[in-house]
Amino acid sequence: MSVAVSFARRATLLVGLVFLYAPIVILAVMSFNASRLVSVWGGFSTKWYAALLENEQLLQSAKISLAAALVSATIATLLGLLAAIALARFGGFRTRMLFFGALHAPLVLPEVVLGLALLTCFVALGVGRGFVTLIIGHVTLTMCFTTVAILAALRDCDPTLEEAAMDLGATPPEAFVRVALPQIAPAIVTAYLLAFTLSLDDLVIASFATGPGATTLPMRIYSQVRLGVSPQINAISTLLLALVAVALGLAAAVSYWRARRK
């Protein structure tokens, strides 16, 4: 490889990574800016973080979002696991195409359409909107992602291992739990985290599905962001980004450590 080509590649990688990360880094730096203005550096300050702690509304929304993410990710992972088992192991049962299609459609449908459909349904049934309907909306959206993630892992499992277990006297559920489940455990964890992140981040479905008592953090952020750039939003955004960065760093460290042990 010529020196020029390798230099061009390195430059491309650098430019690409800067494009991906510069806006996030700038946002984080701005959250420590004492000045309210974007373009003026007023000195280092953590006062916007201190202000966050005083903002009851924002804290309350953060709690609701966290609770919704925990609950909906748990339900979505369970339902996704069951759906993936059915799709991977039950062969061509009747209405499989409908089931398969319905589980994949929300992946590609605009969120606005799904949210609108859910809201019309709740109103038609006369259900009051709140935390429960928020959970229903998030599970419906995220169970499609968990199904796909777990299904992919289940397809990579060797079915002959389960057959061997059954030849040795295990019942099909036993064989599944003791042979396949340990193999797909990492995919289940990934699916849970994916559902958790999607729920925590969702604005559109939540706006349709939730009621006045259960305003989520993205909804709160969104209503403030519409008024323009705000240092407090910069601060909470930075906290959320830092949380993800730490989680990803841990995940990378764990997988590195496991790879080395092998």
Applying the rule CB under 8 A, the residues between 160 and 179 that interact with other proteins are: 172-173
String of contacts with other proteins for each residue 180-219, x by CB under 8 A: -----------------x--xx-xx-------------x-
Among 7, 16, 185, 246, binds other proteins (CB under 8 A): 16
CA distance 235 to 45: 11
Nearest to 49 by CA among 244, 231, 247, 245: 231
Phi, psi of 41 (to 5 degrees): -90, 110
Q: Which residues pair with 44 in a beta bridge?
A: 33
Q: How far is the CB of 50 from other proteins (least distance, A)?
A: 20
Q: For residues 233-262, which are near other proteins according to CB under 8 A? A: 233, 237, 240-241, 244, 247-248, 252
The Cα–Cα gap between 171 and 173 comes to 6
Nearest residue to 162 (alpha-carbon basis) of 82, 88, 56, 246: 88
Interaction between residue 139 and other proteins (CB under 8 A): yes
| Residue 235: closest CA among 20, 34, 19 | 34
Bridge partner residues of 33 (DSSP): 44
Chain residues 85-114 in contact with other proteins, contact rule CB under 8 A: 85-86, 90-94, 99, 102-106, 108-114
User: Binding string, 27-46, against other proteins, x = CB under 8 A?
Assistant: x--x------xxx-------
Footprint (CB under 8 A) of other proteins, residues 71-90? 78-80, 82-83, 85-86, 90
134 binds other proteins (CB under 8 A): no
Considering only 55-63, 118-126, 159-167, 179-187, which stretch makes contact with other proteins by CB under 8 A? Answer: 118-126
Q: Please say which residue, 126 or 169, places its beta carbon nearer to other proteins.
A: 126
- Nearest 5°: the CA angle 33, 21, 51 is 30
Cβ–Cβ under 8 Å, residues 157 and 184: yes
CB 238 within 8 A of CB 48: no
Beta carbon of residue 252, minimum distance to other proteins (angstroms, whole number): 6
> Could you tell me how many residues of this chain bind other proteins (CB under 8 A)?
80
Closest approach of other proteins to the CB of residue 245, in Å: 8
- The pair of three-digit structure tokens given for residue 250, joined into one six-digit string: 């841990």
Shortest distance (Å) from residue 20 CB to other proteins: 6
Min separation Cβ 168 and other proteins, Å = 20
23 contributes a contact to other proteins by CB under 8 A? yes
Nearer to other proteins, 214 or 217 (CB): 217
Query: Nearest Cα to 179, choosing from 189, 191, 192, 166?
Result: 166
Rg over alpha carbons for the chain, rounded to the nearest Å, is 23
